[in-house]
């Protein structure tokens, strides 16, 4: 469905996947897009967004001249699309995306190699700016939900930034046909282990205050619907028609942590194998990543096994360092499970008694993620697969005896 991307992702470097120095302006020709995106919360809350989209001209994206402009356009059009579809809540989602929105969104998506829907790469990796010279960050665009919306996206961004040194090592492995230069210090000190540990410990004591701004009731009842897609979603079971592009509805998943390039990169580097439906879902989520991110993960997935390399060297220090990396990822996924329970499962179970908010999801998505997965089954599955990757003492001793 996607066209070949014409622009390489500038955000994929040897440091991280976050788009640095995010663009906040477009040529004046596209002013209407930014006007709508910058005022999205007000327009949704006053139910004026759909009417304004219907009055929009069909703009040609050909004046977008570089990667950052294309990413900002994709971000803006993605936010407007989600607002348009879900403005009236789960009772009356839009069935057709008007051509003035669908056509340029499709064209921009083709040029980037991304799908025409708001993705994790949009809301987390490209939706931030510096608020002041001291380094405080803010969102470029937002949905209804106030500080809860800001806290939700910013804390995900901070975790992605914390993963930077691990991404650097992963990218280095991409260009090494064998792990002959892998050293104990890479796993123990300044590379993989702290960068897998760091998102977890960084997330808890430093950015737990961000979660204090995310009210579970607001997240579930107001924000969550706006990151929901139209695949495996009972609110739009047939998908969404993109006017002027297809007469049949198109199925696309909403933004999901499963689309995190960093976490999938760690999975590939640490040889964590997800099987059956879980593995198929994670593989499909790579289609929602920038092409260069996807290529790195796929290259790592077929590279020589780091786990086998460590076992073959019969080093208890290497095994312990490897297990520390895997254990940190297990901890992060366990924390994610607890967070999902607090922000989705509990508020979802309370929704019938409290009365469903006008534009919330109610109980419709209580058991499904915004990407369409069976929520708790999927999350427990990825955590358990991660645990299985740990090198047991028996495996280590067995390899030593074979040497």
Q: Are 267 and 389 in contact (CB under 8 A)?
A: no
- CA dist 90 → 78, 94, 236, 348 (Å): 18, 10, 9, 14
| ∠ Cα 134 137 138 (to 5°) | 135
Cβ count near 284 (within 10 Å): 16
**The CATH number of domain 28-388, selected from 1.20.58.480, 3.40.50.720, 3.40.50.2300, 3.30.70.600:** 1.20.58.480
Q: What is the dihedral of CA 191, 192, 194, 197, to 10 degrees?
A: 170
What's residue 360's pLDDT?
54
DSSP 360: S
3-class DSSP state of 17 = coil
Instruction: Indicate the angle between helix axes 67-86 and 99-112, nearest 10 degrees.
Output: 140
Phi, psi (deg, nearest 5) at residue 234: -65, -15
Query: Token digits for 184?
Result: 């104990």
What's residue 160's pLDDT?
85
Phi, psi (deg, nearest 5) at residue 378: -65, -50
Query: Token digits for 170?
Result: 């992963």
What's residue 38's pLDDT?
98
Query: Token digits for 119?
Result: 């993705």
- Nearest-Å Rg of the Cα atoms of the chain is 22
What's residue 91's pLDDT?
86
Query: Token digits for 38?
Result: 């910058």
What's residue 352's pLDDT?
56
Q: Is 38 exposed, middle or buried (0-12, 13-18, 19+ CB in 10 A)?
A: middle
Q: Is 108 left (phi over 0), alpha (psi -120 to 50) or beta?
A: alpha
What's residue 180's pLDDT?
41
Taking alpha carbons only, the member of 50, 44, 103 closest to residue 241 is 103
* Helix-strand-coil split of the chain, %, nearest 5: 60, 5, 40
Q: Flag whether 336 is marked binding.
A: yes
54 Cβ neighbours under 8 A, 6+ residues apart: 98, 100
- Domain boundaries, given as residue ranges, for the chain: 28-388
What's residue 192's pLDDT?
47
Alpha helices in 66-98 (DSSP H): 67-86
CA within 13 Å, CB half, 89: 15
Reading the chain (403 residues) residue by residue, the pLDDT tens digits are 344 444 333 333 434 689 887 789 999 999 999 999 999 999 999 999 999 999 999 999 999 999 999 999 999 999 999 999 999 998 899 999 999 999 999 999 999 999 999 999 999 999 999 888 787 889 999 999 999 999 899 988 888 888 876 777 666 554 444 444 444 455 544 444 444 454 444 444 444 545 557 888 888 889 999 999 999 898 999 999 999 999 999 999 999 999 999 999 889 988 999 999 999 999 999 999 999 999 999 998 988 888 888 888 878 888 888 898 899 889 889 988 888 888 888 887 776 544 444 455 555 666 666 655 677 888 999 999 999 999 987 665 555 455 5
Residue that the structure tokens 């994790």 belong to: 120
């Amino acid at each position: 469905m996607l066209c070949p991307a014409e622009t390489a992702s500038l955000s994929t470097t040897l440091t991280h996947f976050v788009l640095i120095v995010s663009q906040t302006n477009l040529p004046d020709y596209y002013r209407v897009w930014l006007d709508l995106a910058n005022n999205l919360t007000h327009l949704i809350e006053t139910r004026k967004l759909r009417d304004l989209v219907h009055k929009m001209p069909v703009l040609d994206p050909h004046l977008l001249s570089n990667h950052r402009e294309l990413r900002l356009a994709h971000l803006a059009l993605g936010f407007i699309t989600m607002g348009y579809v879900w403005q009236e809540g789960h009772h009356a989602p839009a069935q057709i995306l008007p051509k003035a929105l669908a056509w340029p969104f499709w064209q921009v998506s083709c040029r980037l190699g991304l799908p025409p829907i708001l993705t994790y790469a949009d809301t987390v990796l490209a939706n931030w700016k510096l608020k002041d010279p001291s380094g405080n960050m803010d969102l470029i665009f937002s949905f209804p939900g106030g500080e809860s919306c800001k806290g939700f996206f910013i804390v995900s961004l901070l975790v992605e930034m914390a993963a930077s040194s691990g991404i650097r090592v992963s990218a280095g492995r991409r260009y090494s046909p064998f792990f002959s230069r892998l050293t104990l210090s890479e796993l123990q000190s300044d590379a993989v282990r702290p960068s897998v540990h760091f998102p977890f410990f960084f997330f808890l004591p430093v950015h737990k205050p961000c979660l204090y701004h995310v009210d579970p009731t607001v997240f579930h009842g107001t924000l969550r619907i706006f990151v929901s897609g139209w695949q495996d979603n009972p609110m739009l079971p047939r998908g969404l028609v993109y006017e002027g592009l297809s007469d049949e509805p198109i199925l696309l998943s909403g933004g999901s942590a499963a689309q995190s390039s960093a976490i999938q990169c760690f999975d590939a580097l640490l040889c964590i194998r997800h099987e059956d439906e879980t593995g198929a879902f994670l593989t499909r989520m790579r289609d929602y990543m920038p092409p260069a991110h996807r290529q790195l993960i796929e290259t790592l997935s077929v590279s020589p096994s780091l786990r086998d390399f460590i076992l073959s060297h019969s080093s208890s220090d290497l095994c312990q360092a490897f297990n520390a990396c895997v254990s940190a990822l297990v901890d992060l996924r366990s924390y994610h499970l607890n967070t999902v329970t607090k922000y989705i499962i509990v508020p979802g179970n309370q929704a019938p008694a409290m009365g469903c908010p006008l534009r919330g999801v109610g109980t419709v998505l209580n058991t499904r993620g915004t990407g369409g997965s069976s929520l708790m089954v999927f999350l427990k599955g990825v955590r358990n697969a991660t645990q299985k990757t740990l090198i047991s003492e028996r495996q280590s001793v067995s390899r030593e005896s074979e040497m």
